[in-house]
Amino acid sequence: MTGSTVASHPPVAARRGTARASTWWGKAWVRAVEEAAYAESDLRRGRSLARAGAVGGISITAGRMVAAVADDQGGGRDHGLFTVDCRLPVLDDEGRSAVVEVVAAEAGRIGSLLAGQLPHTLVEHADEAGVELLPFGTELETSCTCVGWLDPCPHALAVLSQVAWLVDADPLVLLHLRGLPRDDLLARLHARTVPAAEPADDLDGAALDTAVDAAARAARLLATLAGDDEAHIDHLL
């Protein structure tokens, strides 16, 4: 069921440098985070917390990213351990079905996803089907237990920055957030390849008539044999 699958990602060790995303889809996530930020200073602080390894393990489920952030960079009440809850809209049933059809449309697409690649054409064709896979800034909603009044706060921006790294390494994380976890996607693809059993009442009429005639002949033959009347057997064979 959508939303029931939870993926727990362990804390990421501190990274040096900018530690930005390297793939085109990871960079698209980063742009969404930049669009969501209210101030460049908040964005810089969030990235600094992300690079410092201040974000704990991130729990991913359909539409949600939850993690704790330890902030020793702030002062006063903005200093301590905070819980961040980030949200992204999930696809409805029709949207998820459309994504499955787009993935199934080309044989190599599921292989690419499992190998950590997100084909441009997959996203383009999903868009043509009315499904937005990559987020934009206004879709990202957050809450945090800190006293900051801006949404997102630096702690939420830190979590979203690390999620960019997760999406960068595995685009299936993006599909999971949109409501289509890996196992669900694979199960739906498998179901498309298994032909449905043909109902018994759909048998061809001619074949059914032949079967009835054969059964009648067999019954008459058995009756004749039971009467030991060999003279009348040949015309039934």
SS3 annotation, 84-98: EEEECCCCCHHHHHH
Q: Check if the beta carbon of residue 134 is closer than 8 Å to that of residue 28.
A: yes
Question: By three-state DSSP, how is residue 66 classified?
Answer: strand
Tokens 């390894």, located at residue: 53
Q: What is the pLDDT of residue 213?
A: 54
Tokens 């595995």, located at residue: 170
- Please give, one letter per residue, the 3-state secondary structure of 188-234: HHHHHHCCCCCCHHHCCHHHHHHHHHHHHHHHHHHHHHHCCCHHHCH
Q: Which of 178, 163, 139 is nearest to 59 (CA)?
A: 163
Q: What is the pLDDT of residue 80?
A: 86
| Rounded mean pLDDT for each run of 10 residues along the chain, 237 residues in total | 76 78 95 95 94 96 97 70 97 97 94 96 96 96 91 95 96 98 95 63 48 50 50 47
Q: Check if the beta carbon of residue 63 is closer than 8 Å to that of residue 89.
A: yes
Beta bridge partners of 64: 61, 87
Q: What is the pLDDT of residue 15?
A: 82
Q: What is the pLDDT of residue 20?
A: 77
Residue 151 carries which DSSP code?
A: S
Largest CA distance in the chain: 112
d(CA 47, CA 149): 19
Give the H or E element holding residue 18.
none
Instruction: Please indicate, yes or no, whether the overall pTM of this predicted structure exceeds 0.85.
Output: no
Q: Which of 132, 136, 95 is nearest to 2 (CA)?
A: 95
Tokens at residue 63, please?
């539409």
User: E strands, the chain, where?
Assistant: 7-9, 58-61, 64-71, 80-87, 141-144
